[in-house]
Structures are given as structure tokens and as C-alpha cells.
Amino acid sequence: MTGPRFRALPADGDPLRVLLVGAGGMGRAWLGTVAASPDVTLVGVVDLDPDAATAAADGVPGAVAGTDLAAVAAASGAQAVINVTTPAAHLPVTLQALGLGLPVLGEKPAAASVAEALRLAAAAELAGQLFMVSQSRSHDRHLRRFRDQARRLGPLGVLTTEFFLAPRFGGFRDAMAHPLLLDMAIHPFDAARYVLDAEPVSVYCQEYNPSWSWYAGDAAATAVFEMTGGVRYVYTGSWCSPGLETSWNGGWRLSGAHGTATWDGEGPPRSSLDPAPEPADDGAPGGIAGALAAFVHALRTGTPPRGEIHENLLSLAMVDAAVLSARTDRRVLVAELLDAAHREALAAAGPEREALSSWPSARTPQ
């Protein structure tokens, strides 16, 4: 992989003109965040459902609504796309936007599989445009503090996340395969890489659906990852676990040679070595506002952000490797999974094939 190289946009003092694709539940959250940001201005909305696109653009002066991304991009003079479609649509929408020469900020997961995400990394290279995945939960200031505490624990042994909730979404999650691993566990997997500053080597996972589950796909899983440096990351979660629920970030515990840090996923993390209260809020935006600010900063400065597609691939690789392990009931090596995904991506690729075939390895350069 040639790695993240993308065209920066001049910091001309004007807000970035953005086009939102996908005006569903999360799209509405993004509309609020875009409206509140001085960095961007909404110039268009696209959805397969014309009424949803029109309703989302309603009241935004000059915003164009429609069902055709190319047409709305041209009519609105958009400079960037925010892709908030369902995971299955991430590949075609982001491919099209990059092909139009537009940088993309996409909701997690990058795509429905690592093979698809590899095609998007190649398409971003081909277009010379930034594709950043919004991992909103990675912009939490408490997570940053937890990571700082991790640095002081000495050699690390094991990091655990426990995630137990019982949401009734309706919609695509109830019908999709692997709803917990693909739609939710991508958040803690990405955060685990960040906290440990380590990459996944292998995983053993069991995925299952409790008898009372209201999801069609497996809504519970336990996965044991070996990370670089030998540290283990153990994730156990369920999306149909009513009562005494955890936070949406889950409950975290990190054990090192010199001490332990814990985080309930909501408040300040605690460390046995550093009982001082958390420093005051530095005002940096969190959640999707944090992802949007990082995207605009990256475009203005040319500095690759966390979540840039090449960097983000290994978070999705953790998901796919866990799913494969559960399906085959064996330990899966992430390097093998990446090689297989690379072959699959090559077989399916369009114009991005040349960039894909130029990579000596699908393993992201670290």
C-alpha cells in the first residue's frame, strides 16, 4: 500500500461545503452536528428515499436534495461527502464519491467487509482523496485519558471490555448477520488498538444468539485477541442483555505490571497509580463532532487523521477475523485474513485494481 496521500484543500476561511448521503436515524444526528459546526456548511442531501432527502434539506438555505449523488454533487458544488448510509451501501456510495473527486467522511464500519474496505483504500489512492472513517467513540476525552494512564502501567497483560445492553432498534440491525460484531464491536476494537497502541495478531471467537434474542443474526460474542507485543484483548458483549446494563462504550479494565486502570465508558477512568481527578475538559469536541473536526483539519492541513482508511483497516480486520473464527471454530491469524481479503478485493475490483495490485502486502504499514 502506498499509504495515506490525499489532496489538501486550501484554508480559504470559508466553511467546507458538504453533502450528506443517507438521511436516516444517524443521518439526522449528523445534520445537527453539521449545522452546529463553524467548519462546514450543508449544501446537499442524497437518499434513496426522495422524501427523506427533501425533509433533511428542508430549511437549509440553498441545500439541494435528490436521489442521485453525481447530480446533487454537481448542482450543489459540494467539496466533500459525509456517507451515513447503511453498511452495505458504504462501498458503492464511497466509491462513487471518490470517483467524483470528492473526499469522504464515512460512518463506521468502513464497509461491509475488509475486502470491500481494501477496495476503498485503493480507490482513495487512485483519486488522491481522503477517505476517513468516523469512529465517533474514539474521540472521547475519557478514552484519551485512559490511554494516557495505560502508558504508565508498565508492560501490559490484558485489556478487557464488557458490553451488555438490550436496545430494540428495528431496521437493518435486526436483520443483518453479525449485528453485534459488525455494527457495534468495531467501536471497542478500534478503541483497544488505540489504548494499547498495538495491532491484532490473531483471534479466537465464539459468536452466538441467546434463545430470547430479537435479532436474526448472532447478537452476542466473546473474543480473545492476541495483540502485537503479546498483550491480550478480551471482548465479551451482548446486545440482548436486559438489566444492569453497561454504558454504550462498555466497561474496561487494563492490567499492567505496575498497576491497573479501569473505565466505566462514561465517566473519568481510574488508575491505581494515578488517583488524581481528571483534568478539566479541554473543550475539544467528542463523538461525531470530534470526527468532523478531525476530518476538516486533515483536509486543511494534509495531515492524515486517525480513522484514515489505511489506518482503520485493522479495526475492521478484527471484526472479520472474529466472525471467521466463530464460523470455523479456530484461531484466525489476521495476516492470513488480510491476504485472503486482498485476493477477494482484486477479483472484484474496478478501476482501483491497479492500486490494489501494486501493494506488496495487504498488511497496513505501521
Ligand X SMILES: NC(=O)c1ccc[n+]([C@@H]2O[C@H](COP(=O)([O-])OP(=O)(O)OC[C@H]3O[C@@H](n4cnc5c(N)ncnc54)[C@H](O)[C@@H]3O)[C@@H](O)[C@H]2O)c1
3-state DSSP percent of the chain in helix, strand and coil, to 5: 40, 20, 40
Q: Which is nearer to ligand X, 150 or 184 (CB)?
A: 184
C-alpha cell at 338: 488480510
Phi, psi angles (nearest 5°) of residue 310:
-60, -40
The greatest distance separating any two alpha carbons of the chain, rounded to the nearest whole angstrom, comes to: 59
Identify which range of 3-11, 18-26, 219-227, 260-268 contacts ligand X by CB under 6 A. Answer: 18-26
Contact residue for ligand X among 23, 105, 111, 346 (CB under 6 A): 23
Contact residue for ligand X among 24, 44, 188, 200 (CB under 6 A): 24
Task: Give CA–CA dist 183/108, Å, rounded.
Answer: 8
- Which position's Cβ is nearest ligand X? 24
107 near ligand X, rule: CB under 6 A: yes
Phi, psi angles (nearest 5°) of residue 243:
95, 135
Q: Which residues pair with 255 in a beta bridge?
A: 158, 260
Q: Which is nearer to ligand X, 93 or 254 (CB)?
A: 93
Identify which range of 3-11, 80-88, 110-118, 225-233 contacts ligand X by CB under 6 A. Answer: 80-88
Task: Give CA–CA dist 106/47, Å, rounded.
Answer: 15
Q: Which is nearer to ligand X, 34 or 84 (CB)?
A: 84
Q: Which is nearer to ligand X, 22 or 237 (CB)?
A: 22
Place of cell 482501483: 352
Q: Which is nearer to ligand X, 85 or 325 (CB)?
A: 85
Q: Do 132 and 308 touch, CB atoms closer than 8 A?
A: yes
Contact residue for ligand X among 27, 179, 250, 265 (CB under 6 A): 27
25 near ligand X, rule: CB under 6 A: yes
26 near ligand X, rule: CB under 6 A: yes
49 near ligand X, rule: CB under 6 A: yes
138 near ligand X, rule: CB under 6 A: no
Q: Which is nearer to ligand X, 92 or 157 (CB)?
A: 92
Pairing of strands 220-227, 232-238: antiparallel
Q: Do 89 and 28 touch, CB atoms closer than 8 A?
A: no
- Count Cα atoms within 13 angstroms, Cβ side, for 326: 23
Closest approach of Cβ 166 to ligand X, in Å?
Answer: 16
4 near ligand X, rule: CB under 6 A: no
Task: Give CA–CA dist 131/100, Å, rounded.
Answer: 13
190 near ligand X, rule: CB under 6 A: no
Count Cβ atoms below 10 Å from residue 279 Cβ, excluding itself.
Answer: 10
136 near ligand X, rule: CB under 6 A: yes
Binding mask 28-47 for ligand X (x = CB under 6 A): ------------------xx
Task: Give CA–CA dist 80/78, Å, rounded.
Answer: 6
183 near ligand X, rule: CB under 6 A: yes
Contact residue for ligand X among 172, 247, 259, 270 (CB under 6 A): 172
267 near ligand X, rule: CB under 6 A: no
Identify which range of 9-17, 87-95, 150-158, 338-346 contacts ligand X by CB under 6 A. Answer: 87-95
Contact residue for ligand X among 16, 18, 20, 21 (CB under 6 A): 21
Q: Is 81 helix (H, G, I), strand (E, B) or coil?
A: strand
113 near ligand X, rule: CB under 6 A: no
Give the residue among 255, 153, 231, 143 at the shortest CA–CA distance from 188. Answer: 143
Sign of the alpha-carbon torsion through 43, 49, 50, 55: negative
Task: Give CA–CA dist 259/102, Å, rounded.
Answer: 47
Contact residue for ligand X among 37, 41, 76, 86 (CB under 6 A): 86
Question: Which positions lie near ligand X, rule CB under 6 A?
Answer: 21-27, 46-49, 52, 84-87, 89, 92-93, 107-108, 136, 171-172, 183
